[in-house]
Chains A and B, each alone.
Chain A
């Protein structure tokens, strides 16, 4: 029981990170119907921003942890969102209205280019930062095994919930959110009604990148080591999460992320660590076979 609870806590933490990345996939898919393959790389860039910023703050003598966290989050969000915007502007906007494969291949190219850009500019070695948030709570004590909840896990969960709340408000209650939902339903009609579709799509990429940047900061804090290749597998899993929850659905992305995080934690905890990625992709295949619309997705109606 205690072991189970511990895996649950680990799974939810991991799931929060996947969920935040998955939102970027699901939003972009919802609005322009393409898989933003470079999104995993955006998350990786977010993590690099976090490492660079933490190191510089450390060198500058900023030691008060809350201030450092806020600054790192802001810096990572701003610069990573710029990358998200630029990726859309360079690689996807010229292909709008072209066929699907062209956009996907352009996205794969962008992903390779970003990965190698970071490899060349920052080097191949892993980057490590010293733990910033230390300490843990003991939730539940049993003889021989204590269930603990570290402060960093609390930080990740609380920040995720707060971001989700803010995000849900943004989508349901602001003009931008309305424009996004309009574009998602019918882009041509939205254009006729005076919505600046290009701007809305750009902002969608910016928002997705901002959330991915937060996920990158979280993963830097949680694991402490990052490298240039981390975006590939993480992106694939976050996409799995988005599909699992029902692509196009924002709560679905979060739910899918949570489920995937838990599957991975339980699989590593009870079976084998080596095959945890196989388990994650296996789930993707199973979901697509038995419930292609995902858990919360709407069935797609094909119009002729």
Chain B
């Protein structure tokens, strides 16, 4: 298999292991020597290089010990090794956890729903926790939206943030220019994003998977660059501020308003800033649940079946009379629409947007939520979104290592489970109720 050609030779295992770890450490030394062992910085207008050989030594030692530990783990617990290696070999459909969760999904879902619905009123819920939960829900919604494109239709979209940006900017511009409310703009923002999805999708959806990925990435960058440079339209890098806040049937969450009533006056309660936070939490909760409901239902419709069929085998689907361009286009536009909804929620929540919020990193984060969760798995998206938002919140002291760890985690999870953490890819429809084949290879090797 992958590593350890050494044990086959006649040398003793200890020597072989040491040699393997030593080799790894030697490579690590070559890698770390220039970038960790040396550091270039500017002093008095000129570059100087200082040496940090103690860091270099630490890095090499860590790699050496880490490699030894890895080998030890593999030799001492062969069962673990098999458990780790097995899903990789068969393409990951044997994922136990995924099918376990899938089996108990009704009670689990009901419990989770009850929990999130009651969350703002639980004793531990303060302003900060509700705020973080809102952020998690934004990512859940984005993940579910992108799941239509990536998980169901199997189209890799690396520029999803563009639709998020379109939604945010269409609401921000409409709201600040024409004084329209959040609720009036929400459908418009979604429609705008869907339009963009159609415009982009129509020409590029004929392309093969990874070309599509790069075109969408390029499109995402174009949107961001235009928003940054077209100052007259979007305010440029300064962004747009003073975006209207959402209202509850016209009731505003302010201390007092010029006309009409505010939320706390109408219900006769004390004004508190946290009301708005809680309200925002429920808005995004409802939006996210609507997205989920939509996805769950549309999967059962002919169009949803067509998406999954195209994902699994485009040639066969075409032979069966599915129009690939229209089918993919619908997935693309619907995914974009939910991105637009989430975008306008993002704009109304923060009250200020600028192109900085819509960088490629954001696309990568949303995509990794979908992929880490297990493409096509709705529950996986929730878990992955929670992990990706909460882990950096918990590890605030290590904030600067966050993206490094994030990138490495993406690599490691792909190596460990190429189909995602909760991959199940259970066929949604079976011929005569037979569980034939149970998914399996799907998209084969290149």
Contact = CB atoms under 8 A, between A and B. Distances in A.
B415 A95 contact: yes
Interface string A142-159: 000000000000000000
A79 B30 contact: yes
B446 A82 contact: no
Interface in B198-227: 203-204, 206-211, 213-215, 217-219, 221-222, 225-226
A58 B46 CA distance: 11
Given A97-B445, A99-B442, A284 B215 contact: yes
Interface stretch (A2-10, A32-40, A258-266): A32-40
A277 B225 contact: yes
B39 A101 contact: no
Contact of B409 (A49, A91, A109, A121): A109
Contacts of B34: 48-49, 52, 79
A48 B38 CA distance: 11
Contacts of B91: 98-99
Contacts of B419: 99, 102
Interface stretch (A63-71, A124-132, A164-172, A204-212): A124-132
Interface in B45-81: 46-49
A99 B443 contact: yes
A118 B35 contact: yes
Contacts of B410: 105-106, 108-109, 112-113
**Chain A interface residue count: which class?**
35 or more
A292 B407 contact: no
A1 interface: no
Contacts of B409: 109
A116 B404 contact: yes
B407 A55 contact: no
A140 interface: no
A121 B48 CA distance: 15
Contacts of A97: 445
A275 B443 CA distance: 38
A122 to B, nearest CB: 6
Interface stretch (B105-113, B133-141, B181-189, B367-375): B367-375
Given A105-B371, A112-B407, 11 more contacts: A33-B446, A58-B47, A99-B443, A101-B375, A103-B414, A104-B213, A105-B368, A117-B404, A127-B41, A129-B47, A288-B207
B315 interface: yes
Contacts of B408: 109, 113
B121 interface: no
Contacts of B415: 91, 94-95, 106
Interface residues of B, number: 68
A93 interface: yes
A82 B31 contact: yes
A136 interface: no
Q: Which 3 A-B pairs have the closest CB atoms?
A: A109-B410, A113-B407, A112-B407
Contacts of B30: 79, 82
Contacts of B215: 284-285, 288
A52 B49 contact: yes
22 contacts: A56-B49, A59-B49, A82-B27, A82-B30, A91-B411, A93-B2, A94-B415, A95-B418, A99-B442, A100-B446, A106-B414, A108-B367, A109-B368, A121-B39, A122-B40, A130-B46, A274-B225, A278-B225, A284-B218, A288-B211, A289-B204, A292-B211
Contacts of A282: 222
The main secondary structure of chain B at its interface with chain A is helix
A219 interface: no
B101 interface: no
A111 B222 CA distance: 20
A285 B418 CA distance: 29
Residue of B34, B38, B210, B213 ringed by the most chain A CB atoms within 10 A: B34
B42 A127 contact: yes
A270 interface: no
Contacts of A281: 218-219, 221-222
A112 B406 contact: yes
Contact of B41 (A56, A125, A240, A285): A125
A59 B444 CA distance: 54
Contacts of B299: none
Interface of B: 2, 27, 30-31, 33-36, 38-42, 46-49, 88, 91, 150, 156, 158, 203-204, 206-211, 213-215, 217-219, 221-222, 225-226, 229, 315, 360-361, 364, 367-368, 371, 375, 400-401, 403-404, 406-411, 414-415, 418-419, 442-446
Contacts of B368: 105, 108-109
A275 B225 contact: yes
A259 to B, nearest CB: 16
Contacts of B361: 112
A233 B218 CA distance: 10
A52 B403 contact: no
A90 interface: yes
Residue of B27, B41, B203, B414 ringed by the most chain A CB atoms within 10 A: B414
B17 to A, nearest CB: 18
Residue of A45, A116, A118 ringed by the most chain B CB atoms within 10 A: A116
Nearest to A273: B229
A56 B27 CA distance: 22
A232 interface: yes
Contact of B207 (A116, A122, A130, A292): A292
Interface in A23-63: 32-35, 45, 48-49, 51-52, 54-56, 58-59
A55 B51 CA distance: 12
Contacts of A292: 206-208, 211
A232 B414 CA distance: 21
A243 interface: yes
B442 A52 contact: no
A110 interface: yes
A277 B442 contact: no
A127 B42 CA distance: 7
Contact of B371 (A56, A101, A115): A101
A232 to B, nearest CB: 7
A190 B269 CA distance: 77
Nearest to B3: A94
B43 to A, nearest CB: 11
Contact of B218 (A49, A90, A240, A300): A240
Contacts of A285: 203-204, 215, 218-219
Contacts of B204: 285, 288-289
